[in-house]
């Protein structure tokens, strides 16, 4: 039958719902003919049942809705706990570093191809981040250490002992200092030029930085550190004076906080809330949304800023939402809860990490030629 192609039932059902078209409940099969490609939701369609063949769908309409096919990046043997992209490098590429409960952070090219594994931790790694020039990586582990790595050789340059699990790390823009936080409820700042010196502490009252575990630390600009804890508090610190400057409180524990340098916003998840917060708070510009589930992680499109992706520890799906909270896509492929998501710095793809031990890379525009994805004619 000319002008038609075969498609998955999931796709055709989605279009049928938009147009309020009936479907055969017994066989779950539909075919749409004479579809107006300019307005699928208002098209006039005639349905018929085809019990012997696959579903048929208009080629022109199909070309406007490609199904996302992820690339799978294997290698880890335990749940993936954190993902972080580098910035775009001088040659236009970037890198991805992953943390895992197997204790072996992995470095990958922008295509998803494996570069190397950082070997040396003796416990789960909860956070790994790259320096601005990607020459260094910092990691925090359940072995009570934070480490600095040379990304060219894979060797550990420094190892900083702690008294409990390190859950989060952040390098300064010049890679001269390191922030760490974790189970101790304390945030430390290490001078990498004096690795044998005792660290300084960021203290709110007494000896603690937060009243709960520190879930995330980020470094913004030259002198600002931001920390988030299970106590529901986000705190901004002047790293020159080590003093607390301002604080924001959520009613539920913070589950994730990531810095989006292109948008200059913090992306925070807490309970059912996703919040987009200016990196340097002025009391204006904060945008919050309540979702029908509790996201484990969220990331905003760095260029368009018109959508964000989420993971959810309650199911195995990656979701794409508009900035009004509307659910645009539900992407299936993982075989365990999704713990972390992150957009690439050019916005062309996003990565998800799961309990199933895999990293999946998803195109923002399915069907486009990019990296290892080959575009469709």
For residue 54 the two structure tokens come to 């696959």
Distances, alpha carbon 61 to alpha carbons 39, 189, 194, 234, in Å: 9, 55, 61, 46
Q: What is the pLDDT of residue 55?
A: 30
Say which DSSP state 74 is in: -
Q: What is residue 67's predicted lDDT score, i.e. its pLDDT?
A: 82
What is the 3-state composition of the chain as percent helix, strand, coil, each rounded to the nearest 5? Answer: 5, 45, 50
Query: What's residue 238's pLDDT?
Result: 97
Q: What are 24's two structure tokens?
A: 């055969």
pLDDT at 15: 33
Q: What tokens were used for 185? A: 């409820």
Q: Whole-angstrom distance between the N-terminal and C-terminal Cα of the chain?
A: 19
φ, ψ of residue 222 in degrees (nearest 5): -85, -30
pLDDT at 170: 98
Look-up of token digits 């295509």: 111
pLDDT, residue 37, reads 35
| pLDDT (0 to 100) of residue 65 | 59
- pLDDT of 355 reads 98
* Helix (H) or strand (E) run with residue 300 in it: strand 295-300
Using the Cα atoms of residue 8, residue 14, residue 20 and residue 22 in order, give the sign of their dihedral.
positive
> What is the predicted pLDDT for the residue at 40?
35
* pLDDT, position 66: 78
Q: What is the pLDDT along the chain (377 residues), one digit of tens a residue?
A: 333 233 333 333 233 323 333 333 233 333 333 333 333 333 333 233 332 333 333 333 333 457 889 999 999 999 999 999 999 999 999 999 999 999 999 999 999 999 999 999 999 999 999 999 999 999 999 999 999 999 999 999 999 999 999 999 999 999 999 999 999 999 999 999 999 999 999 998 789 999 999 999 999 999 999 999 999 999 999 999 999 999 999 999 999 999 999 999 999 999 999 999 999 876 578 999 999 999 999 999 999 999 999 999 999 999 999 999 999 999 999 999 999 999 999 999 999 999 999 999 999 999 999 999 987 64
Task: Specify the pTM.
Answer: 0.83
- Give pLDDT, residue 248: 95
Residue 283: per-residue pLDDT: 59
Cα dihedral 342/346/349/350 (nearest 10) = 0
Residue 376's pLDDT is 62
178's tokens: 């390191």
């Amino acid at each position: 039958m000319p002008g038609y192609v075969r498609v998955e039932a999931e796709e055709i059902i989605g279009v049928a719902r938009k147009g309020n078209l009936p479907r055969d409940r017994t066989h779950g099969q539909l075919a749409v003919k004479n579809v107006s490609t300019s307005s699928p939701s208002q098209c006039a369609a005639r349905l018929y049942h085809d019990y012997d063949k696959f579903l048929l769908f208009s080629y022109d309409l199909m070309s406007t809705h490609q199904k996302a096919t992820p690339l799978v990046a294997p290698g880890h043997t335990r749940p993936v706990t954190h993902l972080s992209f580098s910035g775009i490098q001088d040659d236009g590429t970037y890198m991805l570093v992953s943390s895992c409960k197997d204790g072996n952070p992995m470095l990958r090219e922008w295509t998803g191809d494996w570069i190397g594994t950082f070997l040396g931790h003796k416990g789960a790694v909860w956070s790994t981040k790259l320096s601005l020039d990607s020459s260094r990586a910092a990691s925090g582990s359940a072995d009570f250490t934070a480490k600095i790595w040379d990304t060219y050789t894979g060797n550990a340059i420094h190892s900083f002992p702690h008294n409990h699990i390190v859950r989060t790390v952040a390098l300064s823009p010049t890679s001269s200092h390191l922030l760490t936080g974790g189970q101790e409820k304390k945030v430390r700042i290490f001078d990498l030029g004096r690795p044998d010196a005792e660290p300084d502490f960021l203290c709110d009252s007494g000896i603690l930085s937060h009243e709960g575990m520190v879930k995330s630390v980020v470094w913004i600009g030259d002198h600002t550190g931001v920390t988030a804890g299970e106590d529901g508090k986000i705190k901004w610190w002047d790293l020159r004076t080590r003093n607390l400057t301002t604080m924001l409180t959520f009613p539920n524990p913070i589950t994730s906080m990531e810095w989006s340098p292109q948008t200059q916003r913090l992306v925070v998840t807490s309970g059912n809330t996703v919040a987009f917060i200016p990196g340097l708070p002025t009391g204006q510009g904060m945008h919050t949304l309540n979702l029908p589930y509790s996201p484990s992680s969220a990331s905003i499109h760095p260029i368009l800023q018109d959508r964000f992706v989420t993971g959810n520890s309650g199911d195995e799906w990656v979701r794409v939402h508009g900035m009004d909270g509307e659910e645009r896509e539900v992407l299936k492929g993982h075989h365990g809860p999704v713990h972390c998501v992150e957009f690439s710095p050019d916005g062309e793809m996003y990565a998800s990490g799961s309990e199933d031990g895999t990293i999946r890379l998803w195109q923002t525009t399915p069907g486009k030629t990019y990296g290892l994805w080959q575009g469709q004619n």
